[in-house]
Amino acid sequence: MSESDDTTADGPLPAEGGPTEEAPESTEDASTDTGEPDDAFDMAGDAEVSSGSTPLEVEGLRKTFGGIVAVDDVSFDVEAGTLTGLIGPNGAGKSTTFNLITGMLEPDAGTVRFNGEEITGLEPHEIANQGLARTFQIARELEEMTVLENMMLAPKGQIGESLWRSVMPITREAVREQETEQLDRVWEVLEFFEIDHLADEYAGNLSGGQRKLLEMARALLTDPDMLLLDEPFAGVNPSLEKRLLEHIHELREEGYTFLIVEHDMDLIMNNCERVIVMHQGRVLKDGTPAEIKDSEEVIEAYLGGEV
Amino acid sequence: MSADEIDDSDGVRSLFDRLLDGDATLVIAVLGAIYLAYVLAGVAFGYGLRGQLNSIANLTFYIGVFGMLALALNLHWGYTGLFNIGIVGFMGIGVYVTALVSKPPVAQGGAAQVGGLGLPLGVGVIVGVVVTALFGLLVALPALRLRADYLAIVTVAFSEIVRFTMMSRTFQSYTVPDTIDLTVAGVQLFSFDPAADTIGLGGGGGLILNYPDPLEALLRTLFLWEPYLGFVGFVQRTLIPNNPKPVIDGFVYGLLLLVGVGLFYVLLSRVGKSPFGRVLKAIREDEDVANALGKDTDRFKLTAFVLGSALMGLGGILWYSSRGSITPPSFRPNITFFIWIALIIGGAGSNTGSFLGGAIFAGLLYEGPRYAKNLIETAFDLGDAPGNFGTAVAPMASLDPVPFVLYTLDSVSQLRLVIMGVVLIWLMHNRPEGLLGHRKETASSVDLSRPGGRDASNAAAADGGENR
């Protein structure tokens, strides 16, 4: 156990090629992976530098469902290495905005740029492969798969995802090797999130909070530059909430960028550098927590708008 | 049956150990029980060796085909969650294409009304499987973009279209010209003298499969035909004096089907225990999640569907190509539902379970009722059954149940469907996950226990990875 404790303290989540060099020992195994994941990550890293400090830029996003305008001309950007909160009362369009960014929904108008490249209208898997990972509002673990299977699913560039490579006797050996390498990282991340004791459980048997942890751990294994968390604290007990927040802060210090949708205003105010407030499909206010707190409009939206 | 464990280079000894305490024991126990029941039934009927062999061969045949098809369906439903209820359509395409490719040209065929291309049976089988795969692609391309229930509708419609196409007069027979020339601007590009005189699907009358017997074709390819005939001669001299060849043929074909099941199992276990299989499982659980994790789910669904369809085509070929003829009514949707019942009994998601489900279905529900009927009739000499339901029920008023029992027994082949339905309802209530559906069959090519050996003692690894 001592070994794992050490790595946990150092932050065992290698943002390989990312902004920090803090976890050299754990980057090793990940970088010995066969070509693809590294390439993908390097590309993302380069792009991040070239586009300056805003990996995510959303401009003029609009989405209507029938006659209802769910998201109306929403524009904002997210700075690299920050924790940005997206808040608003029920029905403000936060989750829709999220789904538009991650490709689950296609916008009627507007653009989304990630690391300088336009990703508007791409398929969710294409967006995920560019390094933009997401979690879901209601944790969507893969119930009848074990925690380990959930985790092993996530890494990018798995050669065994090709049918014939997995089946042919000659190529299967390489698949096994890559999976063995991947496994180390999977266990590290499980230990980091302190859910390694649940590794063999079906994900469906986990408690709500544990599912949230699993979902975040799984998203992290896709080697993202940026994580979009949709209400990560909903239905999570206070002690677990504290733990999740610690994890998020730790990861941010390692160079990950976060955009968090949240209901709980205090939580966002106390933890984010920047807050975007949405109301009735529009961006109401965009600024530091202090600015938001002083804003008349925001107070009105929250006190007057919510039923 | 745990042939996938060959993967692990743990050495022969541990392989042997795991075979013993793992799936193999279960499979052997279940098969042993079924076969024992059939042999005992044979004894009760007073079968000689010939009769016993016949009965065993017949049982093995159905265990083999239902085992294979349940395994193929498990890839669709158990792994990927693709609701395919058009299995029989793929089976039909497989065997019809094989027939068209391998039937001799009609002039030599004599009895058959339409001919084929006259190519070797091996070629026919390969073409049959490939064409089935292509049809799988055709069905999947539009349907997989829709939600699960639409795929079900599309597949069942497809299988009925296939059957009606087989029956259609339009495709019944087509006279092939003596030579086919392709001449463009006065230049002959291509001239071909087709062997076939007529070709077609045979309409409602079906196709007579007048190509060489599949068993003979296979053994000839393997240069085992002469030894085989020698063996048959030996049996004739020693055990069964009166024309033993059909009996032995059936028996050996059954064994070959079991080998086929083994190959299906190895292939599908490898598919399942791999990153590919893991993505399939993720699609089954929640496609959006798999997509959000960067997996191109459409591609995975398509690949899995096409592979499963091809295997269903092969299953159809192995089922029907050894028959004397094929007719469209053999490809009604009830076959599809038989295979579904087999999979539900065995437990969707488990390959071993799928095979066991196939075996149990074949032994108990498909062939069993007929044996039970014969057994009861042998045990109690009850006389003739009444001709209709009225005469069967009327004596009940005077507390004489015998005519009703006789009538029931006499209609057992129709009642088989009722029995299957009852079993299905019972399963749904009491064990919806089937025999082995509850098991963790980890979708990974390697053991996922914690590396570094802290708690990765061999036993823990074996238990943690599987069979829970």
* pLDDT reading at B181 higher than 70: no
The string of pLDDT tens digits covering residues B411-449 is: 887 888 899 999 999 998 988 888 887 777 788 888 888
Rounded to 10 degrees, the C-alpha dihedral B78/B80/B83/B87 comes to: -70
Q: Is the dihedral of CA B217, B222, B227, B232 positive or negative?
A: negative
If you average pLDDT over residues B325-336, what whole number do you get?
93
Name which residue leads in pLDDT, A187 or B46: A187
Q: A160, B276: Cβ pair inside 8 Å?
A: yes
Return d(Cα A94, Cα A263) in angstroms, integer.
10
Name which residue leads in pLDDT, B459 or B158: B158
The string of pLDDT tens digits covering residues B86-110 is: 999 999 999 999 999 998 876 544 5
Measured CA to CA in angstroms, residue B136 lies from B143, B238, B301, B316 at distances of 11, 49, 11, 14
The string of pLDDT tens digits covering residues B277-292 is: 999 999 999 999 999 9
- What percent of chain B is modeled with pLDDT above 90? 49
- pLDDT at position B466, please? 37
Name which residue leads in pLDDT, B63 or A8: B63
**Widest CA span in chain A:** 67
Q: Residue A184: its chain B contacts at CB < 8 A? A: 451
- pLDDT at position B2, please? 43
- Note whether A121 and A105 are within 8 A (CB): no
- pLDDT at position B173, please? 80
Return d(Cα B238, Cα B62) in angstroms, integer.
29
- pLDDT at position B240, please? 81
- Note whether A180 and B317 are within 8 A (CB): no
Confidence of residue B80 (pLDDT cuts 50, 70, 90): very high
Name which residue leads in pLDDT, A48 or B39: B39
Q: Which residues contact A293 (CB under 8 A, 6 or more apart)?
A: A269
**Widest CA span in chain B:** 89
Cα of B449 to nearest chain A Cα, Å:
8
The string of pLDDT tens digits covering residues B12-57 is: 556 655 555 578 888 999 999 999 999 999 998 888 888 899 999 9
Of B271, B444, B452, Cβ closest to residue A179: B444
- Note whether B309 and B132 are within 8 A (CB): yes
Among B121, B129, B143, which Cα is nearest to B309's? B129
Confidence of residue B453 (pLDDT cuts 50, 70, 90): low
The string of pLDDT tens digits covering residues A11-37 is: 445 444 444 433 333 333 433 334 343
Q: Which amino acid is at B347?
A: G
At residue B460, the 3 state secondary structure works out as helix
Tell me what the pLDDT averaged over chain A comes to: 80
Within 10 angstroms of residue A164's Cβ, the number of other Cβ atoms is 10
At residue A109, the 3 state secondary structure works out as strand
* pLDDT reading at B318 higher than 50: yes
Residues pairing with B428 in the sheet: none
Return d(Cα B65, Cα B423) in angstroms, integer.
21
- Note whether A84 and A272 are within 8 A (CB): yes
Cα of A72 to nearest chain B Cα, Å:
24
Return d(Cα B37, Cα A249) in angstroms, integer.
66
Q: A160, B307: Cβ pair inside 8 Å?
A: no
Of A124, A134, A161, Cβ closest to residue B275: A161
Q: Is B188 left (phi over 0), alpha (psi -120 to 50) or beta?
A: beta
Confidence of residue B309 (pLDDT cuts 50, 70, 90): very high
Tell me what the pLDDT averaged over chain B comes to: 84
Chain A residues 186-245 within an 8 A CB cutoff of chain B:
186-187, 196, 199-200, 202, 218-219, 222
Of A280-289, B59-68, B208-217, B407-416, the range with the lowest mean pLDDT is B407-416
Among A291, A135, A279, A227, which Cα is nearest to B289's? A135
- pLDDT at position B16, please? 58
Strands A226-230 and A132-134: parallel
Chain A residues 67-126 within an 8 A CB cutoff of chain B:
102, 104, 123-125
The kind and range of the H/E element at B191 are strand B187-192
Of A211-215, A236-240, A253-257, B178-182, the range with the lowest mean pLDDT is B178-182
Range list of H helices, B74-174: 87-102, 106-109, 121-143, 148-167
Q: What's the distance, Cα to Cα, between the start and end of chain B in Å? A: 18
- pLDDT at position A26, please? 39
Return d(Cα B247, Cα B463) in angstroms, integer.
44
The string of pLDDT tens digits covering residues B358-384 is: 999 999 999 988 888 888 887 777 677
- pLDDT at position A113, please? 92
Q: Is the dihedral of CA B91, B93, B97, B100 positive or negative?
A: positive
- Note whether A93 and A70 are within 8 A (CB): yes
Q: Residue B445: its chain A contacts at CB < 8 A? A: 160, 166, 172, 175-176, 179
- Note whether B103 and B209 are within 8 A (CB): yes
> What DSSP character marks residue A121?
T
Q: Is A193 left (phi over 0), alpha (psi -120 to 50) or beta?
A: alpha
Return d(Cα B20, Cα A148) in angstroms, integer.
27
Q: Which amino acid is at B324?
A: G
Return d(Cα B435, Cα B432) in angstroms, integer.
9
- pLDDT at position B268, please? 95
Among A174, A166, A145, which Cα is nearest to B4's? A166
Q: Residue B452: its chain A contacts at CB < 8 A? A: 3
- pLDDT at position B463, please? 39
* pLDDT reading at B150 higher than 90: no
Measured CA to CA in angstroms, residue B313 lies from B210, B219, B221, B263, B308 at distances of 20, 22, 22, 15, 9
Range list of H helices, B183-244: 214-221, 225-238
Confidence of residue A177 (pLDDT cuts 50, 70, 90): very high
